[in-house]
Amino acid sequence: MILQVIILIAGLLLLVKGADWLVDGASVLAKKHRVSDLAIGLTIVAFGTSAPELVVNFVASLGGYEDIVYGNVIGSNNFNLFFILGIAGLVTPLAVQSSTVWKEIPFSFVAVIVLLLLANDFFMGENRGLSLLDGIILLALFGGFLFYVFTLLKSDPVSVNTHHKEYSNLKIWGFIVGGLAGLVIGGKLVVDNAVAMAESLGVSEKIIGLTIVAAGTSLPELATSVVASIKKNNDIAIGNIIGSNIFNIFLILGMSSLIKPLEFNMSFNQDIYLLGLGTMFLFLAMFLGKKKTLDRWEAALLLLAFLGYTTYLVVMEVQ
C-alpha cells in the first residue's frame, strides 16, 4: 500500500509538470502561427488531456467492463465541469469568449442529450446501450465538431501579444509531445494504483468508474486548466474543459462502441442528468454577475455541487 501511494504521488507530479509543458508549448504555438488560444485549447490540448480516457476505455471495452467505460466518460465529464472549472474559477474569474458562450457550451449540452437518447435507445426499442450504429453517429457528430473548430481557426481573431515566449519549433513540439507523454504516463500511474487501492477496499465497478477512474483520467484536465488559469490563459482553461467533454462523449464513447456494443446501466442516467444540469448552469452563469465570466461564487457553487453529489454516491455505496 505504501508503494502504491508513492507511485500515485509520482504520477500526480508527472501530471502537473506535463500540463505545464503542454500549456507553454500550445500557447507559444498559438501565438507563433496566429492561431487563437481557444482553438488550440479545443483541439490539441483537449485531445491530449483526453488521451487517458481513450486508453482506459479501449482496454475496458475489450474486457467487456461496460460500467468502467460509461463511468469513466460520464464521471470524467462531471469532474471536468464541476470540480475542475470550480477550482480554476476560484483561482481567478474565467472570462469566456462569445463563441464559447453561444457555440461550444451549447454543443457540449447537445452531446449530453445525444448520449442520453442513444444510451437509453429512445428511438430503437428496449436494448439499452450503444451499438455499432450509435458509435458511427457519435463519430459523425465529432467530425462535425472538428469542422466547426477548423472554421474557427480561420475566422477567430487573434490578438498580437509581443510578450509571449520565443521558442524554436523543435522546443515548442518538444514541450507539447513531452507534456502529452507526461500526462498520459502520469494518468496511467494514478489510475492503476488508485483502482488497485479501491478494489482492495471492495468498491463496486460502477463507483470505481465514476470516482477513482474518472478523477484519475481527468487529472490532466485539472492540471492543465489550473495551470492555464494561474497564467491568466482563460481560453485554454475553458477550451480544454469544453473540448474534452465533447471529445469524451463523441470520440471516446464512439470509438468504444465500435470496439464492442456497450450495454447501458440505467443507474447512470442520474449522472447524465447532473452533467446536463451543470452544463445548463454554466451557460446561465455567463449572464449572471459579470457577463461572459465564470465568477468565483459561481465556481464555488459548481465545486460544492460536485462534493455534495460525490458524498451522496459514496454514502449510497456503503449502505
Q: Mind listing the pLDDT tens digit for each residue in 44-75?
A: 777 777 777 787 888 888 888 888 899 999 99
CA distance 93 to 138: 33
* Residue 94 three-state SS: strand
Quick check: 106 and 276 in contact, CB under 8 A?
A: no
Category of 289 on φ-ψ map: left (φ > 0), alpha (ψ -120 to 50) or beta: left
- Only one residue has cell 465570466, namely 293
Q: Tell me which DSSP letter residue 260 carries.
A: S
Residue 318 CA to residue 305 CA, distance in Å, equals 20
CA 100 to mean position of chain CA atoms: 16
Distance CA 285, CA 282 (A): 5
Per-residue model confidence (pLDDT) at position 165: 62
At 7 the pLDDT is 84
Position 314 scores a pLDDT of 82
Given a contact cutoff of 8 angstroms between Cβ atoms, the answer to whether 248 and 47 are in contact is no
Task: Determine contact, residues 113/276, Cβ cutoff 8 Å.
Answer: yes
Amino acid, single-letter form, for residue 108: S
Question: DSSP letters along 96-147, please?
Answer: --HHIIIIIHHHHHHHHHHHHHHHTTTTT-S--EE-HHHHHHHHHHHHHHHH
Q: Can you give the pTM of this predicted structure?
A: 0.82
Domain boundaries, the chain: 46-157+198-318
pLDDT at position 79, please?
94
The neighbour count for residue 175, using CB atoms within 10 Å, is 23
Cell numbers given for 236: 485554454
Write down the CATH number for the domain with range 46-157+198-318: 1.20.1420.30
The predicted pLDDT at position 230 comes to: 87
Ranges of the chain with pLDDT below 50: 159-163
Q: In the numeric block, which cell numbers belong to residue 314?
A: 459514496
| Per-residue model confidence as pLDDT tens digits over 8-38 | 788 878 877 887 787 778 778 777 777 776 6
Dist CA 10 CA 141 (whole Å): 37
pLDDT of residue 19: 75
pLDDT at 229: 87
Backbone angles phi, psi at 262, to 5 degrees: -115, 110
Task: Return the SS3 of 286.
Answer: coil
Q: Identify the residue whose cell numbers are 509538470.
A: 17
